[in-house]
Amino acid sequence: MYTVYCTVLLFAIWGVPLLAAAAQAGADGRLRGPVAEAVPSALRAVLPAVLATVVLLPAERARWQGPVLLEPAALSWLLPQPVLRRALLLPRFVTASVTATVIGAAAGAVAGFLLHALGAGSWWAATCAGAGAGAVAGFAGTALATSVQRHSGTGSRHVASIRRTGWTVAAALWLLAAAAPVVGSWATWAVLWSGPWGWATLPPAAVAGEVPAGAGWAGAVLSALVLTAAGRAGAESAARIPARVLRAQADTALRVRASLYSLDLRQARAAVRATSSRTVRPTVRLPLPRRRWLLVPWRDATALLRSPGRPAWAAVWAAVAVVPLCLDGAPLAVVLMTLPSGYLAAAHLVEPARLESDDARCSAHLPWPARVLALWHGVVPAAGLLTLFLLGGSVAAVAGLWSDRLLVLPVLVPALVGAALVSAYRGVVPAHLMVGSATPLGDTGPLAALVWQVRGPLVALGALTVVDGPVRGAEPDAVGLLWPLLVGVGMAWWAGATARRTMLGR
């Protein structure tokens, strides 16, 4: 109730005036324009993909913390007793479902009201339609997450099959949404009627005038039928969750919560990773190196090949880093997105170094000191990021979007990889940072701990932004191309010093 009170109070202070200002701007015509006119038509294609993604996110979390979570007292005293499992677990499922439905309905209502501000329908119809779509997403996500929780940690292939099917559907929906302006309206209609993810979006599309009103009512009826079936399946899954899954997830949730309270995001991530059983792909092999100095790059390349999600996300973020430099006349804020996007690409490629920092046993038998080992861990990420940037520049040149500012991307690689290595070897948050000083805005300890965790990218990106002209959109010159290399040398030295201090502290 205290959480509800704080949420309502903050929304009344900050949210209501902003919504009122948006409604007034829509009534005055200040929100009219090409973008506002394109939003309702894009809603039909994009909203089903958004809804499917929102439903899948709780299912991903359910692999380590599902909706049905017992408190320690119930685990210790009630679970071992001969009581009805349904009477113990079903109230938790109901509470989680109601909470997720209310949150989804509130978020959907806000989105629907903003849609009305853009000129789509009356305010009450848009708000109700948005609330209905949000409620469907919240309830369906909880039911699906309960089914995943029932089979998590049991060695069943049911969870893998749900994840594979769900994300395949979501990816197909996003592809159709991106291709809708090219292939025509038939793709949009196919998405809207292809399944529950499209049926729930028919009422908002009907309010926006993109589909007939009868289609909106049909979508509401179909969504109600789907929610009824999902609720029954979720209740049955909740009553059949094994005791070992409940105990394991309660222990994981406790460790994650303790790590978050101490602002140790690395330990929280390690606790979540420990719950997932990763299957090694024996077919992904690289030939054994014949030189000792190739051992660490060989290990890093093998680890990335056996975890293809990391290189894939690195490619996505590298593409995001290339695009702003190809846009002539783009605002400075858009151009500066190159730096954080490039850092995120490098951070995905230095995952082997991060795993080694978490577990010192991985490098205990390697014949190099920590400082040298950290630099060897930057070889494969630097080569991979350089390849991605060169490939992005080549694609831009073929597409006729070449800009001389793209020349700065290769020289950014040492600085970005060095910043990622500093974060990989940062270690545990020092205890003295959590003891801050009292201010009218609160204690400074948590802020200092957060700044300490992101000090590597803050220093590197700050130095590149303040001094380097090509990063800010200027034409490249000798100084602008030399400065990132100097920053890269400094970040490489810092990464080695951080690795030495972290590994010696263990």
Query: Degrees (nearest 5) of the Cα angle 82, 85, 91?
Result: 135
Tens digit of each residue's pLDDT (9 = 90 or more) over 178-221: 777 766 667 777 788 888 888 888 888 888 777 788 888 898 99
What does the pLDDT read at residue 504? Answer: 67
Mean pLDDT across 408-432:
88
Burial class (CB in 10 A: 0-12, 13-18, 19+), 269: middle
- In this structure, of 275-279, 337-341, 487-491, the range with the lowest mean pLDDT score is 275-279
What does the pLDDT read at residue 346? Answer: 95
Mean pLDDT across 433-453:
76
Dihedral sign for Cα 59, 103, 242, 70, please: positive
Q: Give Cα separations from 475 to 335, 341, 403 (angstroms).
A: 13, 20, 9
Helix (H) / strand (E) element for 442: namely strand 442-443
Question: Pick the residue with more confidence: 272 or 347?
Answer: 347
For the ranges 110-114, 188-192, 225-229, 323-327, the one whose mean pLDDT is highest: 225-229
The residue among 132, 131, 124, 125 whose CA lies nearest residue 110 is 131
Cα gap 408→339, rounded to integer Å = 11
The residue among 129, 295, 307, 102 whose CA lies nearest residue 219 is 129
Q: Please identify which residue in the block is written with the tokens 């853009």.
A: 118
Domain ranges of the chain: 31-241, 295-504
What does the pLDDT read at residue 35? Answer: 60
Q: Please identify which residue in the block is written with the tokens 């919560």.
A: 257
Beta bridge partners of 443: 438
Cα gap 147→190, rounded to integer Å = 28
Cα gap 214→385, rounded to integer Å = 51
Decide if 348 contacts 275 (C-beta within 8 A): no
% of the chain beyond a pLDDT of 90: 27
For residue 98, name the pLDDT band (cuts at 50, 70, 90): very high
Q: Is the model's pLDDT at 337 over the cut of 60?
A: yes
What does the pLDDT read at residue 99? Answer: 93
Helices of type H across 62-195: 72-73, 85-117, 123-151, 158-183, 185-192
Q: Is the model's pLDDT at 7 over the cut of 60?
A: yes
What residue type is 20 in one-letter code?
A
Mean pLDDT across 257-263:
79
% of the chain beyond a pLDDT of 70: 89
DSSP state for residue 275 in the 8-state scheme = T
pTM of the model as a whole: 0.75
Question: Pick the residue with more confidence: 136 or 156?
Answer: 136
Mean pLDDT across 162-179:
84
DSSP state for residue 84 in the 8-state scheme = -
Burial class (CB in 10 A: 0-12, 13-18, 19+), 69: middle
Q: Is the model's pLDDT at 359 over the cut of 80?
A: no
Helix (H) / strand (E) element for 439: namely strand 438-439
Cα gap 141→50, rounded to integer Å = 13
Cα gap 114→362, rounded to integer Å = 52
